Structure 1
């Protein structure tokens, strides 16, 4: 992967980089030569991640970002550009979940999840694309969706709606920005052990659910690295508007 997914000369921004997929994506981008801007609200965690990347020989900087605030998004891009130049690779990864049934979900839950998962993805991608166009360069945007944007599960109606929105937004952005040299794709992870899913995986019901999938287990973080790099790097130069499941076959599991 170090040659096929070469990221030298790229400047990447990873949102939601304080935990989960964001941490992994930031590390693998830096390991393959990208200069990485890590963004999230928990700056202390970002600074620890930057120190780890730098200790391994990579280049990174931390910027505070609340993806639900246009002002915060703009300020984060300004700081990232000041450090490394125009950002041409985006890992649009910030996300939250609120596991309430469709009858118990309330307006506050809807606003929190949709503002972060959908509005936040829209604002970051749009800001990145505007700056790429202004600089006369292309790039790659990888929006993190979910297999729950492709299918549904109990107590995830709001989350599923937000991730389905991410997939359609991705396709619309890919359609409009392709002639500008900007590829936009969605990564649709299945069930991986992250900070967000840790409590879910502790239940016997989860073990039974995962056991019923074609591969019969959750994914390991390393197993999403190559799919992500394919979409983010020039190796995927003819891929745009794709919603790629990385789920151990969960989407095709027997009902």
Structure 2
């Protein structure tokens, strides 16, 4: 039998729980597991809960690499339960956490001629049009529209991930955002007063769920507070982009 197919016995129970929601091993679940494992004494068992089926294939490999014995999995209607015993070897959590904290996201942007560039990151690429476009139709979204899209996407995914970790089922979710530039003429070079960034962004989260309104509102506030893009836009972010003549 493959280790990935090992069924944990019903008698296996533990008070140590890691709520993974719908995260997979590549999107933060392993960091949550490492954090939870810090509270588990040597030899005791951590239960990991996730609705993402790929965890069944990926978690045993991680257990082998970290020398934390994989004890199997069980399925219940709401999620899958995975059981991992904390190994006696020293856990390299400090290294993993430092790598996560020090990680740098990277993009490369190439001018395609005219008023369009192409952005490359990892295995993705997309086109971006001019920052200041008021046309109804364009060959590509503007850079400021990508800012709104990045913010809305971050909030939508953050809300959904937090909901899944709390066993809250979301039926429908949509976010509408709009923003106003302080003075677009600064970007165009015809005025100097003000700045060319957003002076305000507003919007609405539309969500359908059986959860209580108070629960959803609390979840939304937590999402806003923790959002990387929200914090990038509202905190003092140091930007240093040099020029190199080639």
TM norm structure 1: 0.30
Give the number of the structure whose residues are more often helix, by fraction: 1
Greater Rg, structure 1 or structure 2? 2
Give the number of the structure whose residues are more often strand, by fraction: 2
